[in-house]
């Protein structure tokens, strides 16, 4: 508790000017209690920052937090991009392939599987045998658009034989 000797006019002046002193005026007689009838006024401050800090620390409050004063920025609606999918023809006509080689990665059936090739769940066309890739077009009378087929002509990879000779 903080005690400060003050007169009534000074207390009224502090409260008028917004100092924010909440006070209780107590009449106290000094010494033996009479002293010629002179009385002194003492104020007991009811509000102090020390009390606020003590109460806050007892409740688990660790410190003051300063809030942001900058206005929040807007959001952007674009700013996204997907990873590349690396689609397209991987082995061209006339190239030699071994079983499991991917010939075409595609979305949908731009190319249809022919002989000695398989098609995966994502329409990837891959080789089932060792041989040479062959592209062909089938112009059927009942369809509006001609279908492109990919096949593998079985045969030994001539490149391997060439490497073995050296």
What is the C-alpha R_g of the chain? 47
Interatomic CA distance for residues 101 and 157, integer angstroms: 13
pLDDT of residue 27: 47
Per-residue pLDDT reduced to its tens digit, 75-128: 888 889 999 999 999 999 999 999 999 999 999 999 999 999 999 999 999 999
99-104 long-range Cβ contacts below 8 angstroms, 24+ apart: 99/127, 99/128, 99/129, 99/130, 100/126, 100/127, 101/126, 101/127, 102/126, 103/127, 103/133, 103/150, 103/152, 104/150
| Inter-residue contact 152 to 97 (CB < 8 Å) | yes
């Amino acid at each position: 508790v903080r005690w400060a000797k003050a007169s009534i006019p000074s207390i009224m002046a502090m409260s008028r000017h917004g100092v924010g002193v909440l006070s209780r005026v107590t009449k106290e007689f000094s010494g033996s209690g009479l002293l010629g009838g002179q009385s002194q006024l003492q104020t007991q401050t009811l509000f102090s920052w020390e009390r606020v800090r003590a109460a806050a620390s007892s409740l688990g409050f660790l410190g003051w937090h300063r809030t942001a004063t900058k206005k929040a920025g807007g959001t952007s609606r674009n700013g996204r991009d997907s990873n590349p999918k690396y689609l397209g023809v991987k082995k061209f006509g006339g190239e030699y392939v071994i079983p499991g080689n991917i010939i075409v990665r595609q979305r949908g059936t731009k190319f249809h599987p022919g002989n000695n090739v398989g098609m995966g769940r994502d329409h990837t066309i891959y080789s089932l045998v060792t041989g040479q890739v062959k592209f062909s077009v089938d112009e059927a009378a009942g369809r509006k658009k001609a279908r492109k087929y990919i096949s593998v002509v079985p045969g030994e990879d001539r490149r391997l034989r060439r490497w073995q000779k050296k």
